[in-house]
């Protein structure tokens, strides 16, 4: 935990996986075969709080979904990358192009396709229900499950470490 706390002041970019991080990992299909996802309002509020604190959010997911595009638009997330099969390769290039040092980036992911990308950032955390290999890698495992406030929990850790009073921030 101390290792994570020491790095929170440097974070300028929060990279988020979607399925299992921003959602509960389920893929819901309606009677017409349309995909649905359940996003946490708490996580959405956390993303808005992060932005107000100067932290940009980036979505990086291996699947493609209209639900993700819509949710990102609602939250004002401009950096949305879907259908990324090699997250590490993509993230290395993204960080380089944006001139972001690893210490300035944090990653929240939950499964094996996130592991190599998580190694490219200064801070990697995961939801409580992440795959065991991810939990073993991350120096801090959040107490919230994916899609149930894990993103908000991490954002609050950052804000508290920075001494930012988020009770009065506008959501």
Find the domain containing 7 and state its range.
2-161
- Per-residue pLDDT tens over the stretch 45-65: 999 999 999 999 999 999 999
Average pLDDT over residues 126-131: 98
In a domain? residue 171: no
Q: How many domains does the chain have?
A: 1
Does 170 map to a domain? no
With respect to residue 168, please indicate whether it lies within any of the assigned structural domains: no
Q: Which pLDDT value is given to residue 168?
A: 62
Q: What pLDDT shows up at residue 132?
A: 98
73, 32 in Cβ contact below 8 A? no
CB 154 within 8 A of CB 37: no
Q: Does a structural domain hold residue 20?
A: yes
CATH of the domain at 33: 3.40.50.1000
Q: Say whether pLDDT at 167 is over 80.
A: no
Q: 90 in a domain, yes or no? A: yes
- The pLDDT value recorded for residue 169 is 60
Average confidence (pLDDT) over 122-139: 98
Residue 75 confidence (pLDDT)? 97
Distance CA 56, CA 53 (A): 9
What does the CA dihedral 60, 65, 71, 75 come to, rounded to 10 degrees?
30
Residue 95: which H helix or E strand, with range? Answer: helix 87-98
Q: For position 166, what pLDDT does the model report?
A: 72
pLDDT on residue 1 = 64
Mean pLDDT in the chain?
Answer: 94
15 close to 58: Cβ distance less than 8 angstroms: yes
**pLDDT level of residue 6 (50, 70, 90 thresholds):** confident
Does residue 123 lie within any of the structural domains? yes
């Amino acid at each position: 935990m101390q290792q994570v706390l020491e790095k929170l002041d440097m974070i300028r970019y929060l990279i988020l996986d979607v399925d299992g991080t921003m959602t509960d990992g389920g893929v819901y299909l309606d009677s017409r075969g349309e995909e649905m996802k359940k996003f946490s309002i708490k996580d959405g509020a956390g993303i808005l709080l992060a932005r107000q604190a100067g932290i940009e959010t980036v979505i990086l997911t291996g699947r493609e979904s209209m639900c993700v595009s819509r949710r990102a638009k609602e939250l004002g997330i401009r950096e949305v990358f879907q259908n990324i099969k090699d997250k590490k390769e993509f993230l290395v290039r993204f960080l380089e192009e944006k001139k972001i040092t690893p210490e300035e980036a944090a990653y929240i992911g939950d499964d094996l396709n996130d592991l190599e990308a998580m190694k490219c950032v200064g801070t990697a955390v995961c939801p409580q229900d992440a795959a065991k290999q991810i939990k073993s890698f991350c120096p801090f495992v959040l107490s919230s499950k994916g899609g149930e406030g894990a993103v908000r929990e991490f954002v609050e850790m950052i804000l508290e470490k920075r001494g930012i009073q988020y009770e009065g921030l506008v959501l």
